[in-house]
Amino acid sequence: MSEISGHLTGMDSGIAAVVGAAIGMLGGAGGGWLTVIGQARYQERQQRIDQRHRLEEVRREAYSACISASKQLSARWWRVADRLRTNGTTPDQWDSEVAEAHAAWVPFSAAVSTVAVVGPGPVAEAAEVLRRAMYALDQAAIAWHEAAREVGHGHLPDFDDRYMAAVAGKRGPGRIFQQAAREALNADT
């Protein structure tokens, strides 16, 4: 009997060793799996953070380009208005200034389109309101220019008044766009 009990004890310790090794292997594999899952979650979180940072940078650039282009377009139309108001200027000088103002419309329009793409919605909507206000300015200045070409001088108070009303009309949308951009970038905090 003692031979049998010694043999069983030897088997018990062998089984115990195998069971212990299996438990150790499963524990190691489980720990490794948890490490892989943790790393994957960390990488996903880091990718989301990086993506947010890239989007914020793209938005910042788009908003800045929109503001800059609106200022440049406005400045071009101011030059047209100044030429129309100045005695002794010629239709050729007016035409040259109008051509530059028309050229300034392209980057502004592109900037508004970019803002519409990168959003978010409230900033895109504010950019569209600004675009409409700038279009009203554009139309007022063009009408003034055309009327001045017809009569040969730019001293046309009704057209000047319409232009100045459009200038005043774009200020609010410009401020609203800037405020929406600040909020989207959390720049007011």
CATH number for 99: 1.20.120.660
Collapsed DSSP state (helix, strand, coil) of residue 189: coil
Classify residue 90 by its DSSP letter.
Answer: -
Evaluate if pTM is beyond 0.85: no
Query: What per-residue confidence (pLDDT) applies to 109?
Result: 96
User: Does residue 18 lie in a domain region?
Assistant: yes
Residue 45's pLDDT band, with cuts at 50, 70 and 90, is: confident
Query: What per-residue confidence (pLDDT) applies to 66?
Result: 98
Look at residue 29 and tell me whether its pLDDT is greater than 90.
no
The total number of structural domains in the chain stands at 1
Query: What per-residue confidence (pLDDT) applies to 34?
Result: 60
User: Does residue 38 lie in a domain region?
Assistant: yes
User: Does residue 29 lie in a domain region?
Assistant: yes
Contact 98, 142 (CB under 8 A): yes
Percent of the chain with pLDDT over 90: 69
Residues 47-70 have pLDDT tens digits of 787 788 898 999 999 999 999 999
Contact 100, 76 (CB under 8 A): yes
Query: What per-residue confidence (pLDDT) applies to 21?
Result: 62
Look at residue 107 and tell me whether its pLDDT is greater than 60.
yes
User: Does residue 92 lie in a domain region?
Assistant: yes
Look at residue 122 and tell me whether its pLDDT is greater than 70.
yes
Look at residue 35 and tell me whether its pLDDT is greater than 90.
no
Percent of the chain with pLDDT over 70: 78
Q: Which domain does 152 fall in, by range?
A: 3-184
Residue 177's nearest CA partner among 140, 124, 137 is: 124
User: Does residue 106 lie in a domain region?
Assistant: yes
User: Does residue 80 lie in a domain region?
Assistant: yes
Query: What per-residue confidence (pLDDT) applies to 52?
Result: 87
User: Does residue 156 lie in a domain region?
Assistant: yes
Least confident piece of the model among 2-11, 106-115, 156-165: 2-11
Within the chain, residue ranges assigned H as helices are: 2-85, 91-118, 121-151, 157-184
User: Does residue 28 lie in a domain region?
Assistant: yes
Give Cα 131 to chain centroid, integer Å.
Answer: 16
Contact 111, 126 (CB under 8 A): no
Residue 153's pLDDT band, with cuts at 50, 70 and 90, is: very high
